């Protein structure tokens, strides 16, 4: 396996892990200020990035083993681009 083909999945994983960390820290801050704890929102803040990691890394690494490696890299770039709408959703809108 070429090292170059692993760059985009690693970048995607780092971006989405950072997003999950920021969302978790923000959610914990809200929970500390108020008595209201919403487990559904907390799981949504973690579920979205973890699902995006699964969607970007697994197909990309599987396609890297075939002649369709470019499709896997494009797919990974598209999933990285999805972080922009996810940040808007975390922020509360546009």
Q: What is the DSSP string of 33-74?
A: HSS---HHHHHHHHHHHHHHHHHHHHHHHHHTTSTTHHHHHH
33-78 residue pLDDT tens = 877 667 777 777 788 888 888 888 888 888 888 888 888 888 888 8
Q: Angle of helix 39-63 relative to helix 83-91, nearest 10 degrees?
A: 180
Number of residues in the chain: 94
What average pLDDT does the structure give for the chain?
82
Q: Measuring CA to CA, which residue among 9, 2, 24, 5 is closest to residue 77?
A: 9
pLDDT score, position 14: 92
Model pTM above 0.95: no
Name the token pair of 71.
Answer: 């499709």
């Amino acid at each position: 396996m070429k090292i170059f083909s692993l760059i985009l999945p690693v970048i995607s994983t780092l971006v989405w892990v950072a997003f999950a960390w920021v969302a978790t820290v923000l959610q914990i801050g809200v929970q500390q200020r108020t008595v209201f704890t919403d487990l559904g929102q907390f799981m949504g803040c973690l579920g979205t990035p973890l699902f995006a990691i699964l969607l970007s890394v697994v197909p990309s690494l599987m396609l890297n083993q075939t002649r369709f490696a470019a499709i896997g890299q494009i797919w990974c770039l598209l999933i990285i681009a999805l972080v922009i709408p996810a940040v808007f959703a975390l922020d509360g809108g546009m």
